[in-house]
Amino acid sequence: MPPQFTANKYAGAATSLAYDAGPNNGPPVVFLHGLGTRRQDWTAVLREFASGNRVFAPDLRGHGDSGRVPGGYRFTQYADDIIPFLREVVGEPAALVGHSLGGVIAAVIAADHPELVATAVAVDPPLFTKRHAGGENPTRYRERFKRAQELAASDMTEIGLFTMLQKRSPNRPAYVTRALARNLVKLDPDVFTLALEGGKQLDFDTDDLVERLARPMLLIQADPENGSAVKEEDAVWAAEKNPLISRLMVAGSAHEVHHSHRDEFVKAVRKFISVDAENG
pLDDT tens column, 152-170 = 999 999 999 999 999 999 9
pLDDT tens column, 176-194 = 899 999 999 999 999 999 8
Average pLDDT, the chain: 91
Within a 13 Å sphere around the CA of 216, how many CA atoms are in the beta-carbon half? 17
pLDDT tens column, 108-154 = 999 999 999 999 999 999 888 655 444 445 566 788 899 999 999 99
Apex 101 CA angle, 214 and 134, nearest 5? 95
Separation of alpha carbons 237 and 81, rounded Å: 29
Q: Which of 211, 24, 53 is nearest to 118 (CA)?
A: 53
* Beta-bridge mates of residue 246: 218
Q: Which of 57, 96, 60, 91 is nearest to 75 (CA)?
A: 60
Domain boundary assignment for the chain: 6-135+197-279
**What is the DSSP code (8-state) at residue 51?**
T
Say whether 239 sits in a helix, a strand or coil.
helix
DSSP labels, 11-26? E-SSSEEEEEE----S
Yes or no: domain 6-135+197-279 corresponds to CATH 3.40.50.720? no
**pLDDT above 70 covers what percent of the chain?**
92
Q: Are 209 and 239 in contact (CB under 8 A)?
A: no
C-alpha torsion 160→35→79→136, nearest 10: -140
Model pLDDT, residue 152: 94
Helix or strand (DSSP H, E) at 249: strand 245-249
**End-to-end distance of the chain based on CA atoms, in angstroms?**
32
Q: What is the pTM of this model?
A: 0.93
Separation of alpha carbons 57 and 59, rounded Å: 7
pLDDT tens column, 244-268 = 999 999 999 989 999 999 999 999 9
pLDDT tens column, 73-119 = 999 999 999 999 999 999 999 999 999 999 999 999 999 999 999 99
How sure is the predictor about 172, in pLDDT bands with cuts at 50, 70 and 90?
confident
